[in-house]
Chains A and B, each alone.
Chain A
Amino acid sequence: MPDELDEILRSDEAIEPSPGFASAVMRAVYRESAEPPTAAFPVVPIRHRRSRVRVDDWVRRCSVVPC
């Protein structure tokens, strides 16, 4: 036997979409489809500063090593 809580939750009323709802959605869809696709984010290769410092440091250390 369903209790009162079940009955209340199952018997919720429904609402009707407004008459112009579907048209409004489609207008938004056409607007969306007319927009140019988003440009890809420019990716520029960046030299890693820390690794460059390490390489420089290595070169400097090599240069001072006595032969």
Chain B
Amino acid sequence: MTSDVQDAAAAARVIAGDPSAFAGIVRRWQYRLVNLAWRFCRHHATAEDMAQEAFLKAYRSLGSFRGESQFSTWLTAVALNTYRSRLHRDRQPWLGREPAEPIDTAPGPQNALEQGQRAELVRRAVLTLPARYRDAIVMYYFEDRDIAESARVLGIAEGTLKAQLHRARELLRSRCASLGLRLSDVQTEIP
């Protein structure tokens, strides 16, 4: 039985009045939902708190899952909406706390920054983008989905997503430049 079929069966049991069936959905999805939240806040405790909120929201709205899309698409969209609302509500106060490792922001030659520190700065810069560009980057790159699936979760047309990704990359390069980070200029075509 595929994960989507298992999830749909569990959802049916929950709707029929068995909340314990939701445990299977939580077990199968905790890793993805916590990591999706982590992409939006880069703070472990906050990511788990956001993921719990998303699971509860999904539990409350399971009745709205009609099986027209895959369960994975539906749940990811619920989580994405929950995280967007949370980011809008909290204004990302945790951003800047708990870096993966201390980031050396002292002035100096570009290559003085470790590669990992550079990468972390770029990933945090994604969170400063306008919401639609941030969401496009998170869904397409961090979640490693293809254009069609990312567009479905975001609820936009594929062409719109491609345009948003193009603009997001431009903005990100500009933000990185203002942080003193120079990235190689090879332009990648979004398929």
A and B are interacting partners: yes
Q: How far is the CA of A16 from the CA of B30 in the complex (A)?
A: 9
Instruction: How many A-B residue pairs have C-beta atoms within 8 angstroms? Tell me.
Output: 92
- Count A interface residues, CB 8 Å: 27
A21 nearest CB across to chain B (Å): 6
- Which residues in B have some Cβ–Cβ distance to A below 8 Å? 19-20, 22-23, 26-27, 30-31, 34-35, 38-39, 44, 47-48, 51-52, 55-56, 59-60, 100, 118-119, 122-123, 126, 137, 141-142, 144, 169, 172-173, 176, 183-188
In the A-B complex, the 9 residue pairs with the smallest Cβ-Cβ separation, listed nearest first, are A9-B141, A3-B186, A33-B19, A4-B184, A17-B34, A8-B119, A4-B183, A17-B30, A25-B55
* Contact of A25 (CB < 8 Å), options: B31, B52, B172: B52
B133 nearest CB across to chain A (Å): 12
User: Would A17 and B48 count as touching, CB distance under 8 A?
Assistant: yes
Which residues on the B side are within 8 Å of A3 (C-beta)? 183-188
Which residues on the A side are within 8 Å of B55 (C-beta)? 25, 28-29
User: Would A16 and B188 count as touching, CB distance under 8 A?
Assistant: no
Query: Given A15-B35, A21-B34, A22-B30, A28 and B56 touching (CB < 8 A)?
Result: yes
The binding surface of chain B is classed by DSSP as helix
User: Would A9 and B123 count as touching, CB distance under 8 A?
Assistant: yes
User: Would A5 and B35 count as touching, CB distance under 8 A?
Assistant: no
- Which residues in A have some Cβ–Cβ distance to B below 8 Å? 1-6, 8-18, 21-22, 24-26, 28-30, 32-33
User: Would A22 and B142 count as touching, CB distance under 8 A?
Assistant: no
Which residues on the B side are within 8 Å of A33 (C-beta)? 19
